[in-house]
Structure 1
């Protein structure tokens, strides 16, 4: 009987020590800071299609003390190789401007085939303070959409409609044609 009791006590002590050690290790792996606000992350994918669709969607989701704006839009361009860059500024308190600029790439992709229209899909997540008032999304100088702080705390999503097409000059200039 003493052997069984010693084994049971050893098992219970092992479980308690293991759980405490696991909890301490897990707590050490949890980040102590969250994403700073305002901030953003982006991704872009360029391809070649014969019948390009443009447009996209925008949404916003409450996230504790911040608000996350999710953005997706697709635009066409006249050259195959482009670089897409973004910047977030606050021109006046609570009003943000998310600017997306398109510039020619290094030309390594060559010219598009005759039956192809180069197209880029752009995705962004923008973290804003929870009390932001507006964020205006701009693609090469033209306003794509403006997101206003909602009256409630629910997530909201809507589609973006438009024919977004960017003309990229060889000298690096570009302009948006949103018909």
Structure 2
């Protein structure tokens, strides 16, 4: 078995704090969305439609967090049943309906936006805008490099074995 490089060790050291950050962001989303009666997933799907009506497939692609179309469909159906969203006709596709917020859904999103802005302003001020911009750039570069590696587009350093299993 080969040893990891310094860069490999640095990336590995970043994984646990990123997982911890993910959990914290989900907890913050829960704290923000639950008083309005939404879950973070409901907020995410409904929020995707704030600027324009979208199909379930468009929402799954746009959200970009690996949500399956089927889970977005279930969430969209729940939002419609609860009166926060409605399906409308799609002039470009007979069967793929467009989801959009109702007046109640739009009002709820605007309420959540104020709460989210207060959270983001406080946390952002504590960390600092420059440091956060650097983090965003680094996180994007890691995600892009990982996608390229999994697609076989990055060469493996000499002396390392190809990954086993799917992927």
TM surpasses 0.5: no
Query: Higher relative CO (CA 8 A, sep ≥ 6), structure 1 or 2?
Result: 1
Question: Which structure dedicates a bigger proportion of its chain to strand?
Answer: 1
The structure whose Rg is larger is: 1
Larger helix share, 1 or 2: 2
Normalised to the residue count of structure 1, the TM-score between the two structures is 0.22
